[in-house]
Structure 1
Amino acid sequence: MKIQAAVSREPGRPLSIEEVDLAEPQRDEVLIRLVASGVCHTDAESINGRGAPFPAVLGHEGSGIVEKVGEGVTNIQAGDHVVLSFSYCGTCDHCLEGQQNACEHTVELNFGGGLGEDGLSRLSQNGEQLAHFFGQSSFATYTVANRKNVVVVDKDVDLALLGPLGCGFQTGSGTVLNALKPKIGSSIVIFGAGAVGLSAVMAAKIANCGQIIAVDIHDSRLETAKEFGATHVINGKNTDALAEIMRITGGKGAHYAIETTGVSSVVQQSVRCLRVLGTCAVVGIAGDVTLNFFPDVLGTCRTIVGVVEGHALPQQFIPQLIRFYKEGRFPFDKLVKFYDFADINQAFEDSKNGTTIKPVVRIAV
């Protein structure tokens, strides 16, 4: 079938909305009419050449309505409202242990450009294959995804809002609730008050952390963090963040830290702000980081853990986040700004310059 899709053709070039061909869903696959898709930093990294092979149709925070299901799909039906999340194989040791976020085939399934066991794309243009992204390619009017990517959600919530639960919001909140599992009354520092960091702030409040400290360089985002439950905020551009964290925690340091920025110097801070036996979860895409291993890690018995997609099984965790949203405990809608599909490049620009915390592109009304 003919669809409209935002095509990424070469590093640094803006996306171009073009007519492309989409094949019918095969076994274990689902055809979805996209309603909206979030814009995420990982999409931006791919546009700059650090992701799917070119040419590609990006987008990995899609939400939409099921049009058709392929052979073997029994838990999803036409008409279902769905959120699309990351790909995993379901058969490696980690997947079988319930750790799909650590799937041994994560890179090839999410960034390799194919879909399904055959590794081929369902997208093409003039006979040339276009790469899939995260097994969903949701910057399009329609997509085909494996059933494992698809999460059925309640029909009484605005479907256009829900796409970012598939990655950014899942990552931040899941890092707190699934990976760190902080003790009630404990202290946590969240470096970066973007979509991922603010999701972590909301989750830390749900987890009843005693001190929730948000660090950023934008006062407006720090004000938002306070609205979402931060007990303390620090502007790292104007304040010695480490000294202030030590003051807030009585000189001991924090029990937990989450690093979302991907800035190497901030990764250092996220480790060094911890108390003895503290744990740092790194979710930002960082480069080389220099640590003095004895005082930073060994001598203080600290733990550094990488967290992918919030250690979440999307089919369980996304409905849980929607329940929190309905209860008023996870008001992620306050972070969202909608853009028309035609304005997708502006959405990326506004995300980059900080104008918008979480852009969501409306693909269909």
Structure 2
Amino acid sequence: MTGNTIRAAVVDRAGDPFVIRDLTLDNPRDDEIVVRIVGVGLCHTDIVAQSGGFGYTGAGVFGHEGSGIVEKTGSAVTKFRPGDRVAISFRSCGECVQCKDGYPSYCHTMPQLNYAGTRIDGSTSIFNGDEPVTSNFFGQSSFANFAITYERNLVLVPENFPLEMAGPLGCGIQTGAGAIMRSMACEEDSILLITGGGSVGLSAVMGAAIQHCATIIVVEPLSSRRELAHNFGATHSIDPTAEEDLAAAIRKIAPSGVNYALDTTGRPETIEAIFGALAPRGLVGLVGIAAPGTLIPIDINTIMTPGSRIMGIIEGDSDPETFIPELIAHYQAGRLPFDRMIKTYPLSQINEAVSDQHQGICVKAVLLP
């Protein structure tokens, strides 16, 4: 096996904690780019992968909110060069109907390019000795000090933007903000409900403030996150643990119902309450990951009679090449202060970061290799 030694956080078996280990990163192919990682966000999707949720059983390196500096490019790469500051987002083909229509998060080959744990030909970019390691996660596997990625993953980051924070723009931030600004395109003066005050939910709050929604209701059990939601623009918040009837609590704030709702929890009982609080023709966006086989417990007539709508949302319907620069501009103008929910950890403390994020000690962990 030829390549370069990297330091990475690896999961040896599904459900195991992360272990920091020296591994080998393959030499880049003609269409590949090596990025030196300076920061990588910790996303719930990474924890799902760690637990074996994508079907991974052997050793794996995850991480899909990386940012860093281009170290080396393959001969076929034309858009980037060594020294470029970049955020790394999800991978898409650029050739299918969805990609050409500006919806690369619904790329026809999204599962193969992002979730397979290998290159498209079945090979991996990371090895432990001669043993292949599940990698190429979202076209990057950036829980490491170096990662192999691709042109369509990368977005240039301006010099006056803190590079270590750019990675979460590539997934969590663009998912939450994009759900409001792009997927559902919430209108000015509309009434919006957001269930869950993690990084995606709070990004949605900031997106709603940018859209000038009139009423922004956040449902979140942790008081610190409810307070942060208000700082980001929420007009109301609800502690679901203090309410016997969540739908009724929402309707106390919005008697005619909410026009839009974004669920980041994936909890069927929460989604059921949302439908009890919708206005006629209300739209529900779903971004929360649920266990395979989880069903929405809604009577068909409950949806049909008021014309309720449901939409699944991946990556906020974002085209990273255009949307991440837009988000950076909002941050620089003070409209998207997502840095206020970030806490940094050395990559070596990844297990502590996972625990802190799970307990609500921090909202969004960013790991520094």
The answer to whether the 8 Å contact 2:215/2:236 transfers is yes
**2:252 is the alignment partner of 1:247:** yes
Q: Residue 182 of structure 1 corresponds to which residue in structure 2?
A: 186
- Give 1:52 deviation, angstroms: 6.0
Paired residues in the alignment total 360
CA deviations on 1:103-162 (whole Å, 9 max, x unpaired) are: 1221121110112x4332111111111111111000001011011111111121111111
**2:345 is the alignment partner of 1:339:** yes
The answer to whether the 8 Å contact 2:8/2:145 transfers is yes
**2:74 is the alignment partner of 1:70:** yes
Amino acid at match of 1:148: R
The answer to whether the 8 Å contact 2:190/2:215 transfers is yes
Amino acid at match of 2:349: D
- Flag structure 2 segments of 5+ consecutive residues without an equivalent: none
Q: Which moved more, 1:269-278 or 1:166-175?
A: 269-278
Task: Choose the corresponding residue for 1:351, options 344, 357, 360.
Answer: 357
Q: Residue 124 of structure 1 corresponds to which residue in structure 2?
A: 127
> Within 5 A, what are the aligned runs for 1:133-212?
133-212=137-216
Distance 1:26 1:162 in 2: 25
Q: Taking structure 1 as the reference length, what is the TM-score of the superposition?
A: 0.96
Distance 2:122 2:326 in 1: 32
State the percentage of identical aligned residues.
39
Distance 1:135 1:55 in 2: 17
The answer to whether the 8 Å contact 1:235/1:241 transfers is no
Give the aligned CA root-mean-square deviation in angstroms: 1.1
The SS at the match of 1:300 is coil
Q: Residue 231 of structure 1 corresponds to which residue in structure 2?
A: 235
The SS at the match of 2:94 is coil
Distance 1:356 1:51 in 2: 25
CA deviations on 1:207-259 (whole Å, 9 max, x unpaired) are: 0000011111111111110000001111111123311221222x210000000
The answer to whether the 8 Å contact 2:9/2:348 transfers is no
Q: Taking structure 2 as the reference length, what is the TM-score of the superposition?
A: 0.95
Q: Residue 306 of structure 2 corresponds to which residue in structure 1?
A: 300
**2:215 is the alignment partner of 1:215:** no
Q: Residue 27 of structure 1 corresponds to which residue in structure 2?
A: 30
The SS at the match of 2:334 is coil
Q: Residue 46 of structure 2 corresponds to which residue in structure 1?
A: 43
The SS at the match of 1:322 is helix
The SS at the match of 2:367 is strand
Distance 1:8 1:170 in 2: 27
Amino acid at match of 1:129: P
- Flag structure 1 segments of 5+ consecutive residues without an equivalent: none
